[in-house]
Chains A and B, each alone.
Chain A
């Protein structure tokens, strides 16, 4: 493995670690599991690179690896984690937290609850579109499908979320 590839890999880490973390966090509702997934994602990508295999689009590849890892764990029953209510450096203290902090926690709780109502594939595509801000073509590249298929799946996921949030 040459030095240039290692540098490129580390540059990719600097650039994409946080987006990948964010993606994983909204998929699994746990900061610690999201960190584990970031570590595993970059470890797998490094192993792939060190076998001399080329990666054309590092961003798409990272999302693909991350989403595959999450799907491997998809049998786990997803619950809204108390972690989603906690600050990174402290515990949830409703009696002492400021108003803005409480607002933020309520927001996160609501978002996690809504995403938790969805199937894994619905959640996957909604997070990619509205959290990761990937376009349909980029999502298509990550999932190995067509942009048309992504658009169809996205519409279905939005409808499913709407139905859950506004049941008739």
Chain B
């Protein structure tokens, strides 16, 4: 190394510092993550859990920060950061006096707690989902006024565009699996909300504008997800040992996410027998069984070293669980029978290469439902009501 350039490197090194303020801020986030995983069997990184609850606004704010987190820590943090007014704002919808605080203050504060590109992308998706939940609530309670529909449609579209942009940046930054995960979860949420809004429209709710925005976004996101999964599948078994370790780790993380989601939803349904109607409950059980099957197939592929295919299968499992969970929560919250909406196509919308090289042939009967694979390996669950 020429002397002048080695001196330049040394001088450059001295001029790059992590400021005490930034170091402390990062440390506080780490501490929050450590505390959130203190009681968990498997560590969960500080995520972007954000759920709207009109009935229990305080609870929704606690869930807004991290999942899981010891309740006392969450309450202290929420009160310290937000205060009583912000807590009250959580349960609002467009037209309510405190709604601006919900979207301009609460959501911005939580946005600042997202410390990775992936969590920021996922957070945008959750904010977009909040707008759809608000649209559904308005449609059920008072019917959506035209100004509110316009506002919700615009806000939803704004956040949906940001999700797509952040997914694109993740992908271009080489974080293809993270991009596929975010896109997949967002797609699941959109698919569920499309079904919810359709049901509400059939009942006379005025959600046409929002519904149209969801349809358009869903098509885009499904195509993006399918292309990302094609890219992942195409990687095949390429790469050195380090890449294989990284791929395996990503697959296992996605499998864990699917299994934890399945267990969590089953536990929720078991603890509240009246959360959903009995026919919905049967359909949910069938959906979760399909998700379990996908996770098992993912494990087989991973053990064979086919990490691309394994990841895509686990991603489909997560997608199915997320879609099911959103429908279950909506039915419990809105008191609307969504039983006929539990008709999952686990492969997602049309798009190239959804990684369907693994086929499930034949059919499995589960009580009053059927699970069949079509010629392309897509799984469909139908419930006879």
Q: Is the CB of B45 within 8 A of A43?
A: yes
Of B1, B8, B43, which is within 8 A of A51 by CB?
B43
Decide yes or no whether B203 CB sits under 8 A from chain A.
no
Of A25, A75, A161, which is within 8 A of B1 by CB?
A161
Chain B binder among A14-22, A54-62, A90-98: A14-22
Give per-residue flags for B23-66: 1 if the beta carbon is below 8 A from chain A beta carbons, else 0.
10011011101100110000101100000000000000000000
Q: Taking beta carbons and an 8 Å cutoff, which residues of A are in contact with B?
A: 1, 6, 9-10, 13, 17-18, 21-22, 25-26, 35-36, 38-40, 42-43, 46-47, 50-51, 68, 71-76, 88, 104, 107-108, 110-111, 114, 126, 130-131, 133, 158, 161-162, 165
Decide yes or no whether B345 CB sits under 8 A from chain A.
no
* A39-B29, A68-B246 known; A76 vs B115 contact (CB < 8 Å): no
Q: Is the CB of B18 within 8 A of A108?
A: no
Please give me the residue from chain A that is nearest to B22 by CB atom: A35
Q: Is the CB of A130 within 8 A of B9?
A: yes
> Chain B interface: which size bin?
35 or more
Please give me the residue from chain A that is nearest to B6 by CB atom: A130
Of B16, B37, B46, B172, which is within 8 A of A26 by CB?
B16
Q: Is the CB of B18 within 8 A of A72?
A: no
Q: Which residues of B contact A158 (CB under 8 A)?
A: 1
Of A13, A22, A114, which is within 8 A of B5 by CB?
A114
Q: Compute how far the CA of A40 lies from the CA of B26 in the bound complex, rounded to whole angstroms.
A: 10
Q: Taking beta carbons and an 8 Å cutoff, which residues of B are in contact with A?
A: 1-2, 5-6, 8-13, 15-19, 22-23, 26-27, 29-31, 33-34, 37-38, 43, 45-46, 115-117, 172-175, 242, 246
Q: Compute how far the CA of A131 lies from the CA of B196 in the bound complex, rounded to whole angstroms.
A: 55
Q: Is the CB of A104 within 8 A of B15?
A: yes
Q: Which residues of B contact A10 (CB under 8 A)?
A: 27, 30-31
* A22-B16, A26-B16, A50-B37 known; A165 vs B30 contact (CB < 8 Å): no
Q: Is the CB of B15 within 8 A of A73?
A: no
Q: Compute how far the CA of A131 lies from the CA of B46 in the bound complex, rounded to whole angstroms.
A: 31
Q: Which residues of A contact B9 (CB under 8 A)?
A: 111, 126, 130-131
Q: Which residues of A contact B37 (CB under 8 A)?
A: 46-47, 50
Please give me the residue from chain A that is nearest to B1 by CB atom: A158
Q: Which residues of B contact A107 (CB under 8 A)?
A: 8, 11-12, 15
Q: Is the CB of B38 within 8 A of A13?
A: no
Q: Compute how far the CA of A75 lies from the CA of B30 in the bound complex, rounded to whole angstroms.
A: 28
Given contacts A35-B22, A50-B37, 15 further A-B contacts (CB under 8 A): A10-B27, A13-B27, A39-B26, A39-B115, A46-B43, A47-B45, A68-B246, A72-B175, A75-B174, A76-B172, A88-B19, A107-B15, A108-B16, A130-B1, A130-B9
B47 to chain A, nearest CB (A): 11
A137 to chain B, nearest CB (A): 19
Q: Compute how far the CA of A111 lies from the CA of B14 in the bound complex, rounded to whole angstroms.
A: 13
Q: Which residues of A contact B33 (CB under 8 A)?
A: 43, 46
Q: Which residues of B contact A22 (CB under 8 A)?
A: 13, 16-18
A55 to chain B, nearest CB (A): 15
